[in-house]
Amino acid sequence: SKRLVILISGSGSNLQAFIEKQQQGSLGGTIVSVISNNPEAYGLTRAREAGIKAVSLDHKTHASRESFDKELAEEIKKDQPDLIILAGFMRILTPEFVQTFRGKLLNIHPSLLPKYPGLHTHKKALENNDEFHGTSVHFVTEELDGGPLIAQSQMRLIVGSESNEENELNEQQVMQRIQKLEHRLYPEVASWYLNNRLTMEKDGVYFDHKKLERPILF
């Protein structure tokens, strides 16, 4: 069976969605370990409760990004994963790390990329009065939140015809809705990869041997 390693930094609600898909038998692989750079991450508890190896590698014990990423890469290699899932992993990865696992690294980012790479995506979408907001799954490259897009889910941000106090969503509500979309989207995309339907080539993403011209809307 295919092997997954999941990297987290926090709550791990996306990790939980992967665990549930695995338990349903529709993931197409086995989560062999969960690694967190934050020893306090609640996702580590979720992993342990599901009987999955939970590893904490505190980045604060490293003097440089390079040395942390080296240890992280060594830890991941032990598990010989077919796929590495970044699920709320809030660390910028070095080019060396990305090259080591090229084509096997997926990330989810809470915006309709290429809009809003980086932090505070929900706030930015609200401040800009965007009609749509969403979340994106992409292959990881050296460029932060810039790797080739695979699939996106979206929601309407402007609820009524005009915004007023009552129909305006706040940042917290938007985050919750986006995470609900993520929990459907991300394990599904991973299952495509694990079933050999998805690859990253030099010229982009291939799905069922056809080059994707635009991200799949899921």
Which stretches of the chain bind ligand GAR, using CB under 6 A? Answer: 8, 10-14, 43, 87-88, 90, 108-110, 135, 179, 182
- Please identify, using beta-carbon distances, which residue of 76 and 185 lies nearer to ligand GAR: 185
* Lookup: tokens for 82: 């077919």
**Least distance to ligand GAR, CB of residue 90, Å:** 6
Nearest residue to the partner ligand GAR, using Cβ: 88
**Least distance to ligand GAR, CB of residue 20, Å:** 13
Q: Is 209 a catalytic residue?
A: no
- The verdict on whether residue 14 carries a ligand-binding annotation is yes
Catalytic residue among 59, 62, 109, 138: 109
Which residue matches tokens 């929900």? 122
Indicate the DSSP class of residue 61: G
- Please identify, using beta-carbon distances, which residue of 142 and 206 lies nearer to ligand GAR: 142
- The verdict on whether residue 93 carries a ligand-binding annotation is yes
Nearest-angstrom CA–CA distance, 214 and 24: 30
| Contacts of residue 70, Cβ cutoff 8 Å, sequence gap at least 6 | 96
Please answer whether residues 7 and 89 qualify as being in contact, where contact means their C-beta atoms are separated by less than 8 angstroms.
Answer: yes
SS3 35: strand
Q: Where are the beta strands (DSSP E) in the chain?
A: 2-8, 29-36, 53-56, 83-86, 105-109, 132-139, 149-156, 198-201, 204-207, 210-211, 216-217
- Please identify, using beta-carbon distances, which residue of 43 and 187 lies nearer to ligand GAR: 43
| Contacts of residue 87, Cβ cutoff 8 Å, sequence gap at least 6 | 6, 7, 8, 12, 14, 15, 18, 43, 108, 186
**Least distance to ligand GAR, CB of residue 196, Å:** 25
**Least distance to ligand GAR, CB of residue 119, Å:** 7
Please answer whether residues 188 and 152 qualify as being in contact, where contact means their C-beta atoms are separated by less than 8 angstroms.
Answer: no
- Please identify, using beta-carbon distances, which residue of 178 and 200 lies nearer to ligand GAR: 178
Which residues are known binding-site members for (6R)-10-formyltetrahydrofolate? Answer: 65, 90-93, 107
Kindly list the catalytic residues: 109
Which residues are known binding-site members? Answer: 12-14, 65, 90-93, 107
